[in-house]
Each structure stands twice: as C-alpha cells, then as structure tokens.
C-alpha cells in the first residue's frame, strides 16, 4: 500500500470545534476589512454557521475578493470592539496528500490563472532570493522532490520564535535572520518555489494540534500550496509533516492578500484567542 493509499484508508472523520475572539481598542471610529470566514471550498462542511459576531453590534457586509476569499467590511465604533466566531466544521480526517509522482510543469505549459503565483510579491522577493534558490536547489529533481527539498531546507533554516515575529518581515528577512513564525516559514518557502519556476501560493487557516502532541498556544496557521501535476498540493514548512484537520480561511500571493484584519485608522489589538479542537460526536 502506498503512503497516499494508507492516508485515505486511515482517515477518521471528525468534527472540529473552531473559532476566535479578537479585541480592539479604537480611539475613534475606524473602517475595518476582515478575512476571518471559512473559505468557500469548506462551506459545505460547516455543521453550524461561522457567523462573524461583533460587540457592540455593527453591520457586516461581505464580498468575495479576487482570490475567492470571503472578506467582511465593518465600521468599528470608537471604544472597545470584540470580534468573535464559534462553529463546528466536519472534516474527513485525511492528512495532507502525498503525491511524489506529481511533475513540475514547464512555465510555457502552465495555465494562465496560475502564472500570477510565479511572480514576486510584497513579502516574497524572488529577485533577492533567485540566485540563492538556484544554488541550493538547481540540482534537485524537478517536481515533488524539489518542493520537498525546499520545505526541508526552510524547516531547518528557520528557528521558530514568537519574539522575532514582526509585521514587516519578508521572505528575504526570514532567510537572513533565520528566525520567525509560521508566516515566515511559508513566505520563504513560497519565494524559493517561485524562484525555481514552481507556482506557489500562501494559505492561512485553522490547524489545531489534532493527531499530534500539543505544540503550544493556538493561533491561526500559515502553510502553502504549489501547482504540480495539474493540481494544487499542500506543503507546510513550519511543521514539515503531513497534518490533518486543516480548515482553510484564505489563499493569496502572500500575507498581504489574506491579512485577518486591515484597519484604516488607529486600532490597538488588546486580545487574541483562537480555538481549533476535536469536537465530541453529536448528541
């Protein structure tokens, strides 16, 4: 039995209890753009709705952005604002697919819609990393093996450190500093894949410690997807192992496209909790 067949055979359907509570202090009324809803690809798995709740109550208007993510627009009033959600989502229990036969497509054969994910972006500076990428991975077999080599490299090159997280850190910064958090692992891996002509996109969502030892304080997680063998494949440089129970929120070029909150005025983040745990059977 192959690893992929074993993955499917060993899948254990489950229910995941997920949600968040995020608290801001706003000295004045401020518009906010939020990316906090479960991705449309998982909407049919929702057992209870993932309504975005606000306290105090304010109108919420939603739309789909250019990447197919659900975005919410609100006008936060002056004072304290609490954003929250609490829901149950069904999951098939499969771990990330393993497809070592997945080939790397020549650039000229790539579908038009994936070309965007070959280009440099705000946090993924392909121009600054191209020479290093080709020196490190130019001799690796193209396709799945090359992406895995990049994932292995990033996993070992960056030491996980909350203290070294900052909102302006780029892939190049993460590479030179060698410390960061999950978004830095994802940014560096995405940038290196693009340098090697492999389309790569940044993902954010819930990834609880289901099926693995408890790893620490829960947060939203970042991973990445690459286009190989005619499909998008999941990789995770932070964990560097197949995981179960990913609940996607959004995809984009990098963290710019999937920021959980853009505030168009002063707003201080004063509270932040995320939940993603296995829920008991219904009843």
The confidence band for 181, taking pLDDT boundaries of 50, 70 and 90, is: very high
Q: Is beta strand 200-207 parallel, antiparallel or unpaired with respect to 221-228?
A: antiparallel
Q: What are phi and psi of 118, to 5 degrees?
A: -100, -15
- Quick one: 83 and 204 in the same domain? no
Please say if the pLDDT value at position 211 is more than 90.
no
Q: Please indicate, yes or no, if residue 99 is contained in any of the structural domains.
A: no
pLDDT at site 222: 98
For the stretch 210-239, what's the b/e string if a residue is b when 16 or more beta carbons lie within 10 angstroms of its beta carbon? beeeeeeebbbbbbbbbbbbeebbbbbbbb
Residue 177 is part of a domain; what is its CATH number? 3.10.620.30
- Quick one: 136 and 77 in the same domain? no
Q: Which residues contact 116 (CB under 8 A, 6 or more apart)?
A: 253
- pTM score of the predicted model: 0.94
- Quick one: 135 and 221 in the same domain? yes
Please say if the pLDDT value at position 216 is more than 70.
no
- Quick one: 247 and 115 in the same domain? yes
Q: What is the pLDDT of residues 46-86, one digit of tens each?
A: 999 999 999 999 999 999 999 999 999 999 999 999 999 99
If one counts the domains in the chain, the total is 2
For the ranges 16-25, 206-215, 259-268, which has the lowest average pLDDT?
206-215
Can you count the helices (H) and strands (E) in the chain?
Answer: 5, 14
pLDDT at site 140: 98
- Quick one: 236 and 113 in the same domain? yes
For the stretch 192-204, what's the b/e string if a residue is b when 16 or more beta carbons lie within 10 angstroms of its beta carbon? bbbbbebbbbbbb
Residue 65: give the domain boundaries.
3-92+260-279
- Quick one: 210 and 84 in the same domain? no
What does R_g of the chain's alpha carbons equal in angstroms? Answer: 19
- Quick one: 196 and 241 in the same domain? yes
Q: What is the pLDDT of residues 223-247, one digit of tens each?
A: 999 999 999 999 999 999 999 999 9
- Quick one: 231 and 271 in the same domain? no
- Quick one: 112 and 247 in the same domain? yes
Q: What is the pLDDT of residues 81-123, one digit of tens each?
A: 999 999 999 999 999 999 999 999 999 999 999 999 999 999 9
Q: Which residues contact 60 (CB under 8 A, 6 or more apart)?
A: 52, 54, 72, 73, 74
Q: What is the pLDDT of residues 147-168, one digit of tens each?
A: 999 999 999 999 999 999 999 9
Residue 49 is part of a domain; what is its CATH number? 2.60.40.2250
Cis status of the peptide bond prior to 185, with omega within 30 of 0: no
Sheet holding 268-279, edge to edge: 53-55, 79-91, 14-26, 268-279
């Amino acid at each position: 039995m192959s690893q992929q067949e074993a993955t499917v055979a060993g899948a254990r359907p489950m229910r995941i209890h997920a949600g968040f509570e995020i608290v801001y202090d706003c000295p004045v009324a401020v518009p906010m753009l939020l990316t906090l809803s479960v991705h449309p690809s998982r909407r049919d798995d929702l057992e209870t709705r993932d309504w975005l709740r606000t306290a105090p109550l304010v109108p919420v208007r939603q739309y789909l952005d250019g990447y197919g993510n659900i975005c919410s627009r609100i006008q936060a009033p002056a004072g304290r604002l609490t954003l929250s959600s609490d829901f149950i989502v069904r999951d098939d229990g499969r771990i990330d697919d393993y497809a070592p036969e997945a080939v790397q497509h020549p650039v000229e054969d790539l579908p038009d819609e994936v070309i965007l994910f070959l280009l440099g972006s705000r946090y993924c500076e392909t121009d600054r990393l191209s020479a290093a990428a080709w020196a490190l991975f130019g001799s690796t077999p193209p396709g799945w093996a090359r992406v895995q080599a990049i994932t292995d490299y990033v996993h070992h090159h960056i030491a996980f450190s909350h203290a070294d997280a900052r909102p302006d850190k780029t892939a190049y910064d993460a590479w030179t500093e060698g410390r960061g958090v999950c978004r830095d692992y994802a940014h560096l891996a995405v940038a290196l894949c693009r340098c090697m002509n492999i389309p790569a996109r940044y993902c954010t969502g819930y990834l609880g410690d289901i099926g693995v030892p408890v790893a620490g304080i829960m947060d939203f997680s970042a991973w990445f997807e690459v286009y190989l063998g005619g499909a998008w494949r999941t990789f995770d440089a932070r964990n560097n192992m197949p995981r179960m129970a990913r609940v996607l929120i959004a995809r984009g070029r990098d963290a710019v496209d999937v920021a959980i909150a853009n505030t168009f005025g002063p707003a201080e983040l004063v509270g932040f909790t995320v939940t993603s745990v296995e829920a008991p059977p219904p009843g």
